[in-house]
Structure 1
Amino acid sequence: MDPAAVVVCIAATLAALVHGYIFVLETLRWQHPATRRVFGTSAEQAAQSKQLAANQGVYNLLLGIAALVGVLVLLTGGADAGLAVALTATGIMLGAAVYLVASDRRLARAALVQGLFPLIAVVAALVALAG
């Protein structure tokens, strides 16, 4: 396997794990005090936004699953298709992270957590596709 594709597999898997964790926070633990501290919400705000947060959490989970599908396709010999799926999923993740920091500079740390592995995967996928 191309070294860049190996990097895609690792970074996309790590991105999927981060997005799976975000799913847990936004869907299963949204009103928990520790989660409210992470997102800076009050108990009242968390209660009022529970459905919206859960919907966003499901999006994060589905993006993570898509990234893992790309990795699985890559690992089973479908280089171009796997790269395309992984690039799409991690590109969307990266776009969301860029939007997050662009919309509020105070969220730069959250955007970094959300976007670092997708950024690595996107760059590696572009290198692999160019090679």
Structure 2
Amino acid sequence: MVVAGLVLAGVAGLIHVYIFYLESIAWTTDRARSIFGTTREEAETTRALAFNQGFYNLFLAIAIAVGIVAYGVGAQTVGATLVFVGAGSMVAAGLVLLVSAPSKAGAALKQLVPPLLAVVALAIGTGLG
């Protein structure tokens, strides 16, 4: 179950790297605007906020990546802790989106299901579940 948890966490991390790209790099492009449902004017107005938010997603993905590497080289407690923190934060952010904007349930579920499954699998695999 540990391997499944780490793989699912890796998938969650990759999703959040993509979200980083959309928010911090491609925010005003037609593709990003269609994904987030913003107009050109809204995208221009919120560009700085999106840029900052994208980095939050990147940092969570980095925490997971470092955790996976740490776990793999034998620092299991440190690795699992980093994965739990990164994935748990992703789940929490997804829940905030789901509760605050129910119309964005699809996006929220894409953001929170893979890390939630990672947390559950890793918890079972490490004997915490």
Instruction: Give me the TM-score of the superposition, normalised by structure 2.
Output: 0.95
The list of structure 1 runs, each at least 4 consecutive aligned residues, that deviate by more than 6 angstroms after superposition, is none
Match of 1:93 in 2: 90
Which residue in 2 is equivalent to 1:129?
A: 126
Gaps of 5+ in 1: none
Structure 2 Cα separation of the partners of residues 43 and 19 of structure 1: 23
Alignment match of 1:56 (pick from 48, 53, 75): 53
Shift of 1:79: 1.7
Please say which of residues 6-15 and 46-55 is displaced more in the overlay: 6-15
Say whether the 8 Å CA contact 2:6–2:122 is kept in structure 1. Answer: no
Q: Distance in 1 between matches of 2:78 and 2:31?
A: 40
Q: Does 1:36 align with 2:33?
A: yes
Gap regions ≥5 residues in structure 2: none
Query: Structure 1 length as normaliser, TM-score?
Result: 0.94
Amino acid at match of 2:98: V
Aligned partners of 1:82 and 1:58: how far apart in 2? 21
